[in-house]
A and B are shown apart, each in its own frame.
Chain A
Amino acid sequence: MDKETISTTFTTFLWGVPALLWQVLFFYVPLIFLLASSFIKHSESSFEITLEHYRLLLDPVYLYVLGRSLLLALTTVTACLIIAYPVAYYISLRLKRWKTLFFALLILPFWTNFLLLVYAWYFLLENDGLLNMVLLHLGFITEPLHMMNTQAAVLCGMFYCYLPFMLLPLYSTFERFDERLLDASSDLGATQWQTFTRIMVPLTLPGIKTGALLVFIPAFGEFVTPSLLGGDKHMYIGSVITHYFLTMRNVSVGSAFTCLASCALILILFMVFMGHSLLTKKEHHG
């Protein structure tokens, strides 16, 4: 009934200030700064607002880069979702005794430096890597397979690194899932497929959405794994950003491209959100 909070020692403003200050100074200000620098051209004497940097980016190459990153992110999300969903279901709802152990094993890669994970694949897939050596030795192939520096290798690496991000939300959603609903559904005459599509998927949708977001957003800006496993053949959003900021030391164009890519991301997410709510509205009306 009463909503009065009981006071503590932390009433003075000073307690909250350091964290807020830090956040504003090092998170919000840089973002504003990024936005601002994309529009500003300054030299020793002059200081003007311009769209010059953005004009530079009108080249279709950049659209191609955005498209590549989008494709990579989408395939990663799809692959992770398809593989992770049954695994999360099995661990959460089917395993009784070994559940904690398997769960710990699942999140261990999450707690490992992703570069090590990339290195593991590097180790396996190199021309004179383990896999090739084993296959050659066993006589399955006569020449080493070119597995490195391929799109397949990149996808493999991406999937390997991002799987935990999809698994964890799905697992926690399944943990909260009421199994008896599945029984009720079969009891009412639904086939397995119907139960799956009408009961399990809709109810685990929040987990799917969280997992998809947790994978998509970082994967969109990913460039390290593709560059290490794909041989730097293609440019991704991250590689362009690196190029402008570190190699060319061109903060202006770099910020312009970052802003552009961020807008693209926001646009994509917005469209997905719109599409989803349109679909759910249709369900309600239809």
Chain B
Amino acid sequence: MDSLWRVFQDSVLRLWVACTYLFLYIPLIVLAVFSFNEIAFPYRWVGFSLRWYRELAISAEIWEATKNSLIVAGSAVFLSVTLGLFFVMWCSQQRRGNYLLSFFYPNLVVPEIVIAVGLLSLFVFLNVPLGIPSLIVGHTLLGFGYAVPIIYTRFNVLDKRLIEASLDLGATHRQTFVKIVLPLLMPAIVSASLLVFILSLDDFLMAFFCGGTSAQTLSLYIFSMIRSGVSPVVNALATVMLVVSSLLVMVFCSIKTKETIW
């Protein structure tokens, strides 16, 4: 009797998990499937077509938005990761370095809308024009919240004797950093970069408040498209972005497994 109950429990659990995954993925799959539909709507499957992808490829608006999103994301990654790296390294030299690091923890805790609105008020007050630069500022800020803890955690587990060994063998401080510290920090740097990149691409709130009217990013574009109703071009765009996200997830997971080896 007891084993029957266990089997029942097991099946319920499995059903629960299966339903959750279905729930998560059916909308996305449907979205993707209908991006290949021949006609717009109503939702009858007419035939396989790449028509909407072609429209996607020639849409100047979307390319503009993509370009802007990539510029912002790239700059945010570069700034937050490099400045964050320098900061973590500098902190390791100071007494009470970890107190200095907690300076950046609120970036993750404070709701993004508050940060965005704060930046907006500051820019308005200083008469700074809103656009790509102001957006880069905001995203770099959010990026710090991820980059600093990730790089710091990795640096902490680094065996400090390796640095001593390198110096002992005749390498100067700079050589030691380039040949030993940097390669060993690389997994953290790459995962932080990926995280910040995705964060920036997917971000909406910061762009909404600090982007101004001039800069159009992918998020803003999708938002305006949703407001105006359903469109198969958006389906196509969504599918493309899903594929890109999947690739990035695979890269991220492979780094995580490599990290555990070292």
Contacts and interface: CB of A to CB of B under 8 A. Distances in A.
Interface of A: 5-11, 13, 15-16, 18-20, 22-23, 26-27, 29-31, 33-34, 37, 83-84, 86-87, 90-91, 94, 100, 102-109, 111-124, 126, 128-130, 133-134, 160, 163, 192, 217-218, 220-221, 224, 228, 238, 241-242, 245-246, 251, 254-255, 258, 262, 265
Contacts of A29: 122
Contacts of B30: 120, 123-124, 130
B249 A108 contact: yes
16 contacts: A6-B164, A10-B90, A15-B89, A22-B141, A26-B140, A31-B118, A33-B125, A100-B257, A102-B21, A104-B250, A112-B242, A113-B204, A121-B27, A126-B230, A224-B204, A238-B113
B111 A23 contact: no
B117 A34 contact: yes
Interface residues of B, number: 91
Contacts of A123: 27, 30-31, 34, 230, 235
A30 B31 contact: no
B113 A23 contact: no
A34 B116 CA distance: 11
B63 interface: no
A130 B106 contact: no
Contact of B117 (A9, A115, A254): A254
A44 B220 CA distance: 35
B62 interface: no
A125 B81 CA distance: 40
A95 B131 CA distance: 47
B78 interface: no
Contacts, number: 236
A124 B100 CA distance: 48
Contact of B253 (A90, A100, A238, A255): A100
B202 A91 contact: no
A108 B250 CA distance: 9
B129 to A, nearest CB: 15
B42 interface: yes
Contacts of B118: 27, 30-31, 33-34, 258
B89 A26 contact: no
Given A15-B86, A128-B42, A113 B103 contact: no
A5 B95 CA distance: 9
B92 A10 contact: yes
Looking at chain A's contact residues, the main secondary structure is: helix
A115 B86 contact: no
B255 interface: no
A218 B142 CA distance: 14
Contact of A120 (B31, B84, B117, B144): B31
Interface string B196-228: 001001101100110000000011001101110
B120 interface: yes
Given A5-B92, A111-B245, A241 B13 contact: no
A16 B100 contact: yes
Interface string B110-141: 11111101111110110000000000011011
A19 B83 contact: yes
Contacts of A91: 17
Nearest to B20: A87
Contacts of B100: 16, 20
A86 B113 CA distance: 31
Contact of B112 (A86, A102, A112, A218): A218
Contacts of A134: 43
B20 A113 contact: no
B238 A116 contact: yes
Given A6-B164, A8-B93, A107 B249 contact: yes
Interface string B175-206: 01100010000000000000000100110110
B8 interface: no
A26 B9 CA distance: 52
Nearest to B242: A112
Given A113-B202, A120-B30, A10 B122 contact: no
Nearest to A132: B43
A128 B144 CA distance: 43
B21 A105 contact: yes
A134 B13 CA distance: 29
A104 B93 contact: no
Most chain B beta carbons < 10 A, residue from A103, A111, A160: A111
Given A8-B163, A133-B42, A163-B24, A115 B91 contact: no
Nearest to A116: B238
